[in-house]
Amino acid sequence: MKSFAQISSLFEEKFNRNHFPAEPAKLYQAAQYVLGIGGKRVRPACVLMTNELFAEINEDTFHVAMAVELFHNFTLVHDDIMDKAPIRRGLPTVHEKFGESTAILAGDVLFAQAYDYLMRIKPVFLQPVLRIFTKTAKEVCEGQQLDMDFEQKSDINMDEYVQMITLKTSVLLAASMQLGAILGGAGAGNQDQLYEFGKYLGIAFQVQDDYLDTFGDPQKFGKQIGGDILCNKKTFLWLYAMEVASAGQKDQLLELSKNDDPKKVEKVTAIYKMCEVDAWATSLKKKYLEKALFHLDEVAVQKVYKEELNKIALHLMQRES
């Protein structure tokens, strides 16, 4: 089985081109811009790699992988608008560079182009692929709405947050795994195990993302450090701190979530450190990673063929960006 680096290179060869017509220039330049500022391409790589678990990678799989990556970038463009994020992957976000209205339209056209690629696959795969892709797209939107709703609530519990993250973040990774398996001819049991692998890996990925947003190196992370704190997001870190903090610390966290203190990030981070939130997040990430790897182990193919997916999982948990 090809390595993640080899798979990524194959994908980039096909993906690294202009996906849009020339006019209207501003719209399509904005859409192409977000694709051109990089990214790990983890989700499309997973489509290709889970296909290769069961059969040779085919042209349909590249079409689906491109659809997944276009959809993912649609979510990033719209998320950045909603979060008022100024930086993405170390560069200005689409709405900062092209304006909010154009950014909204650019996200929309990325979504539309994703379906254009899906419609190119063989009829035998079209119905199951569209069903999973459309279900996943709706779930991601549901998760984003819950994420915004949580900003205005102070009584979120951990189970509610995990459900939101599952929808917003991990179902797309899970679907990527399943879609590749379908295109490779896998049976329902193996499809389900790969979906669960992707789901739990996606949750672990989000724990790491929450951690890096507060404790990461800004030169490596590629986004504004403390962005979640500034947006009053109820992250894994926030929820755990509210569970273990003293009464005084809880009062401080709640007060900081209601104002625009210029030292907000610094003060919240200090409370997190006193509550040992960083160590707890590392432990939680490990728990979800172990769940993910259990399901990967249950996929009924020889272990040697699954080794590259195992490596990806471990790499994602060690990332700093």
- The rounded distance, in Å, linking the Cα atoms of 183 and 144 is 28
In this predicted model, what pLDDT tens digit does every residue of 246-290 receive, in sequence order?
999 999 998 998 888 899 999 999 999 999 999 999 999 999 999
Cβ(223)–Cβ(92) below 8 Å: no
Specify which residues 92 forms β-bridges with: 87
pLDDT of residue 151: 78
In this predicted model, what pLDDT tens digit does every residue of 159-211 receive, in sequence order?
999 999 999 999 999 999 999 999 999 999 999 999 999 999 999 999 998 99
pLDDT of residue 220: 66
Q: Is the pLDDT of residue 152 over 60?
A: yes
Does the pTM exceed 0.75? yes
Task: Residue 313: name the closest of 137, 192, 194 by CA.
Answer: 194
pLDDT of residue 272: 96
Cβ(117)–Cβ(70) below 8 Å: yes
Specify which residues 60 forms β-bridges with: none
Summarize the confidence of residues 126-136 as an average pLDDT: 98
Predicted confidence band at 223 (pLDDT cuts at 50, 70, 90)? low
Cβ(280)–Cβ(240) below 8 Å: yes
- The rounded distance, in Å, linking the Cα atoms of 304 and 143 is 35
Tokens of 122: 């063989």
Predicted confidence band at 232 (pLDDT cuts at 50, 70, 90)? confident
Q: Is the pLDDT of residue 320 over 90?
A: no
Q: Is the pLDDT of residue 83 over 80?
A: yes
Specify burial of residue 260 (Cβ count, 10 A radius: 0-12, 13-18, 19+): exposed
pLDDT of residue 316: 83
Which range has the worst mean pLDDT, 42-56, 89-103, 221-235? 221-235
Q: Is the pLDDT of residue 21 over 60?
A: yes
Summarize the confidence of residues 124-146 as an average pLDDT: 97
**Residue 297 CB neighbour total at 10 angstroms:** 12
pLDDT of residue 281: 93
Cβ(113)–Cβ(170) below 8 Å: no
Amino acid at 155: D
pLDDT of residue 221: 62
pLDDT of residue 61: 97
My answer on whether omega of the bond before 21 falls inside 30° of 0, hence cis, is no
Which of the two residues, 63 and 261, has the higher pLDDT score? 63
pLDDT of residue 196: 98
Q: Average pLDDT of the chain? A: 93
Question: CA angle, corner 152, sides to 148 and 153, nearest 5?
Answer: 110
- The rounded distance, in Å, linking the Cα atoms of 197 and 98 is 37
Q: What is the CATH number of domain 4-318?
A: 1.10.600.10
pLDDT of residue 231: 83
Indicate the helix (H) or strand (E) that contains 87: strand 87-88
